[in-house]
């Protein structure tokens, strides 16, 4: 069995394998690692990659690009009178990459690990899996692109927190990554699935059209494609030169314009504002301060652009790190992940925890405005995956014969403003006192969502999973994946160090004075609140555990010190070290109170609004 990783990009894709103890980038038939994500179909033959890309100008009606932007959408792309779904065109790209891999490795590929934008929703992830499955290949694992990049960037045994700015041809993902030893934890993600390097191409093309007195949108498809390709060449050349002369032929006339990085930065301000909002959202939701972030890492081919680098350096109080292989970082991380997956001895095992990019909810009745159902969230955005949550629901009316559960993804207050994923209708038990239902959502990063509904009065349980075309499909008894997700979610939710700390505190509580008991109660309340707040922050959780255990050590030491008159052999030592004891007590007090009072003004403000 041979597993390869594929970075399925908007503009370019590449494949990677792990063999002979190393990550190996897979070249295509041209000896290049990057294969353009372009498909040409003439009615009988399909071509993918470099040759297809050239046909964007010569055969625009038969050639497709940027179809990744429409993954999961009910959209058809017509080539030579044949309609394709975006996932079918993506399958064509995958097929070409698999063929290149089999030729290079000399082995048959049986499984794919595909990277996806972190901000892909459930339908987009399903469509990506379907693209691989259309080829008869196993696609068990999807990995978020920033997570793959983090695997490639993390230095072993280092405690570090960094921001991954993954800017590709059509999507932008920003992730805050917390790393410690062999653990890579995604603290927060934000993104824009319609912002990428191709938007800069369009801005350049539109600028040239304005200068020439032409409307870009009014041009025919052949001319638009030709102009966009010329704009892309100019954009790439601006990575090496400060200015480039762009020659175009529009409506029978030849034009030449000087394009500079300064000009590109000026016309790109709307795109920079969108970038800033994505970065802001990710960092705010991570709950890290600027002083706690070590660096920002540039990932993706569009990060090569000098205007992007310069903007980020001016925007952020962080070192901006870039290398020579920014467009290969995701693939390199994929290769390392495959090494871990196949248990290669040369690869150090890593634990990579990912989070849910969007909240998962069900609609509930709105008694204030009955035409607008509300969203009741079961699995919140940024929850560590896999996650499993249960909520109890009841019919609106006692005489209601059936109840419909609708599943949504998104952050809007009203259900209709979120992405509808599917629904199921069940009978309401009659002649019983309890007509409630226990609804459990179980979700993992591979976009597998299970909905388990238990009728409380009868204990009857029905389980469904997210299916195609916005449906919930009943799960048969042989499908136990939802149970595995629930078990894994329980393991992740367990916090043995936190639980041990509480047990120790409860033991000590019984031996303390009333004043000490009140202080311990306050400390534990603050600890619980901060621990929940820092659920995705490894460093702060560790600091919180350490400082609170120091506080308990101090309490326990005080209890033992009270027995000094019995244990005479150590009483003299305490007397000699009384100055040291006072210094230790003062330092512990400072450490504990400084940490536990962190953001106390913010907490009090939250309580006031609570």
Chain mean position to CA 437 = 31
147 shares a domain with 13:
yes
Q: For residues 417 and 409, is the Cβ–Cβ distance under 8 A? A: no
480 shares a domain with 373:
yes
pLDDT at 450 over 60: yes
Per-residue pLDDT tens digits for 113-154: 999 998 898 889 989 999 999 999 999 889 988 889 888 888
- Report yes or no on 572 lying in a domain: no
- Return the CATH number at 298: 3.30.420.40
395 shares a domain with 382:
yes
How does the average pLDDT of the chain come out, rounded?
Answer: 86
508 shares a domain with 470:
no
Q: What is the pLDDT of residue 499?
A: 87
Task: Find the domain containing 508 and state its range.
Answer: 495-563
345 shares a domain with 262:
no
Per-residue pLDDT tens digits for 561-585: 655 555 545 444 444 444 544 554 5
Helical (H) or strand (E) element with 574: helix 568-576
Chain mean position to CA 390 = 23
pLDDT at 358 over 70: yes
Q: For residues 387 and 358, is the Cβ–Cβ distance under 8 A? A: no
- Report yes or no on 584 lying in a domain: no
Q: What is the pLDDT of residue 290?
A: 79
- Return the CATH number at 446: 2.60.34.10
Q: Which of 464, 418, 461 is nearest to 443 (CA)?
A: 464
Q: What is the pLDDT of residue 226?
A: 92
Largest CA distance in the chain: 105
Q: For residues 68 and 74, is the Cβ–Cβ distance under 8 A? A: no
pLDDT at 258 over 80: yes
Residue 292: both structure tokens together: 């706690």
Q: Tell which of 243, 267, 291 closes a domain.
A: 267
Residues of the chain with pLDDT > 90, as a percent, come to 53
- Report yes or no on 610 lying in a domain: no
- Report yes or no on 129 lying in a domain: yes
- Report yes or no on 59 lying in a domain: yes
319 shares a domain with 342:
yes
Beta bridge partners of 17: 24
- Report yes or no on 603 lying in a domain: no
- Report yes or no on 569 lying in a domain: no
DSSP 8-class letter at 384: B
541 shares a domain with 471:
no
402 shares a domain with 274:
no
Cα-trace Rg, the chain: 29
Q: Tell which of 540, 563, 586 closes a domain.
A: 563
3-state secondary structure 295-338: EEEEECHHHHCHHHHHHHHHHCCCCEECCCCHHHHHHHHHHHHH
- Report yes or no on 578 lying in a domain: no
pLDDT at 291 over 90: no
Q: For residues 354 and 144, is the Cβ–Cβ distance under 8 A? A: yes
202 shares a domain with 191:
no
260 shares a domain with 205:
yes
Q: Tell which of 418, 450, 484 closes a domain.
A: 484
- Which SS3 state, helix, strand or coil, does residue 566 take? coil
Q: How many helices (H) and strands (E) does the chain have?
A: 17, 28
Q: Which of 149, 155, 151, 154 is nearest to 167 (CA)?
A: 149
55-59, 96-100, 148-152, 493-497 — which one is most confidently predicted on average? Answer: 96-100
Q: Which of 450, 460, 359, 458 is nearest to 405 (CA)?
A: 450
- Return the CATH number at 247: 3.90.640.10
Q: Tell whether pTM > 0.85.
A: no
247 shares a domain with 219:
yes
Per-residue pLDDT tens digits for 76-125: 999 999 999 999 999 999 999 999 999 999 999 999 999 999 889 888 99
Cα–Cα separations (whole angstroms), residue 171 to 96, 128, 174, 302, 331: 23, 15, 10, 10, 16
CA distance 443 to 389: 9
Helical (H) or strand (E) element with 244: strand 243-250
Domain count across the chain: 4
Q: What is the pLDDT of residue 480?
A: 64
- Which SS3 state, helix, strand or coil, does residue 54 take? helix
320 shares a domain with 308:
yes
Q: How confident is the model at residue 273 (pLDDT cuts 50, 70, 90)?
A: very high
Helical (H) or strand (E) element with 99: helix 86-105
């Amino acid at each position: 069995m041979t597993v390869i990783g594929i970075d399925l990009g908007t503009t370019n894709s590449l494949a990677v394998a792990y063999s002979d103890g190393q990550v190996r980038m897979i070249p295509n038939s041209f000896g290049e690692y990057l294969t353009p994500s372009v498909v040409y179909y003439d009615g009988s033959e399909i071509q993918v990659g470099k040759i297809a890309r050239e046909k964007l100008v010569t055969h625009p009606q038969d050639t497709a690009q940027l179809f990744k932007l429409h993954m999961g959408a009910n959209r058809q792309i017509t080539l030579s009178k044949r309609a394709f779904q975006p996932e079918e065109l993506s399958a064509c790209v995958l097929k070409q990459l698999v063929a290149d891999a089999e030729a290079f490795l000399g082995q048959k590929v049986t499984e794919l690990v595909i990277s996806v934008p972190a901000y892909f929703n459930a339908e987009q992830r399903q469509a990506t899996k379907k693209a691989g499955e259309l080829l008869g290949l196993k696609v068990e694992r999807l990995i978020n692109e920033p997570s793959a990049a983090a695997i490639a960037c993390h230095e072993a045994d280092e405690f570090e927190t960094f921001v991954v700015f993954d800017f590709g041809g059509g999507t932008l993902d920003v992730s805050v990554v917390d790393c410690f030893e062999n653990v890579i934890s995604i603290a927060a993600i934000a993104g824009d699935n319609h912002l990428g390097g191709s938007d800069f191409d369009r801005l350049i093309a539109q600028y040239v059209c304005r200068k020439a007195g032409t409307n870009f949108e009014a041009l025919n498809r052949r001319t638009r494609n030709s102009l966009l390709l010329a704009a892309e060449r100019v954009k790439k050349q601006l990575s090496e030169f400060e200015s480039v002369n762009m020659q175009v032929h529009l409506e029978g006339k030849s034009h030449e314009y000087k394009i500079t990085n300064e000009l590109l930065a000026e016309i790109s301000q709307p795109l920079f504002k969108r970038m800033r909002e994505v970065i802001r959202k990710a960092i705010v939701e991570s709950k890290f301060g600027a002083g706690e972030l070590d660096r920002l890492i540039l990932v993706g081919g569009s990060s090569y652009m000098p205007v992007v680098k310069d903007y980020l350096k001016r925007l952020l109080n962080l070192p901006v790190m870039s290398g020579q292989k920014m467009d290969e970082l995701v693939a390199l991380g994929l290769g390392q992940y495959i090494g871990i997956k196949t248990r290669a001895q040369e690869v150090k095992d890593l634990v990579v925890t990912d989070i849910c990019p969007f909240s998962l909810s069900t609609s509930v009745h709105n008694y204030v405005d009955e035409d607008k159902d509300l969203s009741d969230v079961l699995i919140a955005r940024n929850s560590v995956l896999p996650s499993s949550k249960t909520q109890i629901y009841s019919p609106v009316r006692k005489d209601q014969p059936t109840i419909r559960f609708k599943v949504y993804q998104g952050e809007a207050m009203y259900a209709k403003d979120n992405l509808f994923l599917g629904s199921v209708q069940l009978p309401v038990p009659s002649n019983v006192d309890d007509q409630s239902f226990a609804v459990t959502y179980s979700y993992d990063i591979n976009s597998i969502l299970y909905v388990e509904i238990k009728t409380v009065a009868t204990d009857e349980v029905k389980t469904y999973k997210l299916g195609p075309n916005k449906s919930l499909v009943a799960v048969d008894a042989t499908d136990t994946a939802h149970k595995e997700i629930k078990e894994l979610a329980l393991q992740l939710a367990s916090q043995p160090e936190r639980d041990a700390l509480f047990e120790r505190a409860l033991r000590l509580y019984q031996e303390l004075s009333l004043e000490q008991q009140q202080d311990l109660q306050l400390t534990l309340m603050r600890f619980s609140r901060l621990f929940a707040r820092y659920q995705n922050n490894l460093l702060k959780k560790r600091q919180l555990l350490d400082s609170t255990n120091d506080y308990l050590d101090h309490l326990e030491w005080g209890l033992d010190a009270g027995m000094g008159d019995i244990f005479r052999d150590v009483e003299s030592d305490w007397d000699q070290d009384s100055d040291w004891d006072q210094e230790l007590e003062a330092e512990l007090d400072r450490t504990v109170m400084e940490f536990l009072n962190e953001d106390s003004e913010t907490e009090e403000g939250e309580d006031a609004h609570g």
